[in-house]
Amino acid sequence: ELVENSTILIVDDICSKGGTFYHSAKALKELGAKEIYLYISHCENTVLEGDLIQSDLIKRIYTTNSIFTKTNEKVEVFDYE
C-alpha cells in the first residue's frame, strides 16, 4: 500500500544496461506504482541496449555526462563537475 499510486525515484551510483532497475521497476509497477524515475550518477551508454530503456516501466532517467555521451528521449543529462 505504500507504493500504490506513488511516484517513485530510484537513486544509484552506476548503471550499465539497467537490468537491476528493469526488474525493480517491474516489481514496483506490479505493486501499483504510478510513475518511476531513475537518478543515476554515472550511466553507461550501454543502457540504450538494455530492456529498461525499451520498456514503458520508467518515465525518465536522469544522469550526468561523466560517462553517458549519447542522446535518448528518456534520458536527461546534466553536466558533471
User: Model confidence over 2-45: pLDDT tens digits?
Assistant: 999 999 999 999 999 999 999 999 999 999 999 999 999 999 99
Query: Which residues face 63 on adjacent strands?
Result: 40, 77
Residue 61: predicted pLDDT: 98
Query: What's residue 80's pLDDT?
Result: 84
Q: Which of 41, 36, 39 is nearest to 24 (CA)?
A: 36
How confident is the model at residue 81, as a pLDDT? 76
pLDDT given at position 1: 85
Q: What is the pLDDT of residues 54-69, one digit of tens each?
A: 999 999 999 999 999 9
β-sheet bridge partners, residue 36: 8
**What pLDDT sits at residue 62?**
98
Residue 59: CA count within 13 A, CB half-sphere: 12
